[in-house]
Structure 1
Amino acid sequence: MRSTKIKPPVWFWIVAVILLLWNLIGLIAFGTEVAMPEALTAGFNEQQMEMYNNRPSWYMFNFAIAVISGTLSCILLLARKKFAVTLAVVSLISILISSAQTVYSGALELVGTVDQTLFYLVMLLDVVLVLFAIHASRKRWIS
């Protein structure tokens, strides 16, 4: 049996667009790190630079999975497709893996308050994305 979509409220579209914009910022950050790493590391001190250069080889691949799956999840939310839930969960798992590496390596202790706040904001907004996608699915706004 096919589930029927129910028209979502206006706030659904607003939240989905905000989350998409946030994830596009993540894509830009990823692209900048890939294409112009010197722009990212220009203000690093010696200890930060050493930590940056010694990240595990899988770190950037995992970063790509997180931002691409998060962005695609938001696009699918706007298209009202249920696979948005799966991609949101994939994004969250990738973010949690990267975050664990960041904490484990001690890198979080080497940055200022703004970067630490951003670190937690990334996780928070991805949890919001997952919960929002699940809620939309349960309300049958997506199918």
Structure 2
Amino acid sequence: MTETTIKTPWHLWLVGVVAVLFNAIGVFDFVMSMTQGAAYMTSAGMTPAQIDHYHQMPAWMTLDWAVGVFGAFAGSILILLRNKLAWPVLAVSLAAFLLSLAYTYVLTDGGKIMGQQMAVASAVIAGLLVFFIGYAWAMTRRGVLR
């Protein structure tokens, strides 16, 4: 049996580094929100109503937020490690993010509180997660991620 070595394409490093850096922002935001609370949120430009909305989140939403950001970060690192688990880990992250959107826009009046800027940011985040999942899946199918 002959094993062929598949060369890592240059774009894997580009996409992987961009994914790690982008998702590191989410991890930073989560950690700072949990450790510095309202002081961090105020310094990030959030209004008192927005901060109150975050403070009223149930514990399951905090867990969901953590799964989303840490899952995206881990999936991004898995791309760089050429590990085929990258796309399912990123998919779990996207599912957690979509659940947080359902909480914000369907279960609460968070959409009105967070405003249009947050809706645009959420669309960008979702779009990038879909791209990273698709990329990792395609690289897995090509045998680049093993």
C-alpha displacement at 1:52, in angstroms?
A: 2.6
1:5–1:138 distance in 2 versus 1, CA, 3 Å: farther
State the Cα deviation string for residues 70-94 of structure 1 (Å, max 9, x = none). 1111111111111112211111111
Equivalent residue letter for 1:129 = F
State the Cα deviation string for residues 83-134 of structure 1 (Å, max 9, x = none). 1122111111111111111111121222343322112111111111111110
State the match for 2:41 in structure 1.
40
Q: Retained in 2: the 8 A contact 1:23–1:71?
A: yes
Report the Cα distance in structure 1 between the residues aligned to 2:77 and 2:143, rounded to whole angstroms: 17
Higher RCO (CA 8 Å, separation ≥ 6 residues): 1
State the match for 1:26 in structure 2.
26
Q: CA RMSD in A?
A: 2.1
Structure 2 residues without counterparts, runs of 5 or longer: none
Correspondence 1:120 to 2:123: yes
Corresponding residue pairs, total: 142
What secondary structure, in the 3-state scheme, does the structure 2 residue paired with 1:29 have?
helix
TM-score (norm 1): 0.88
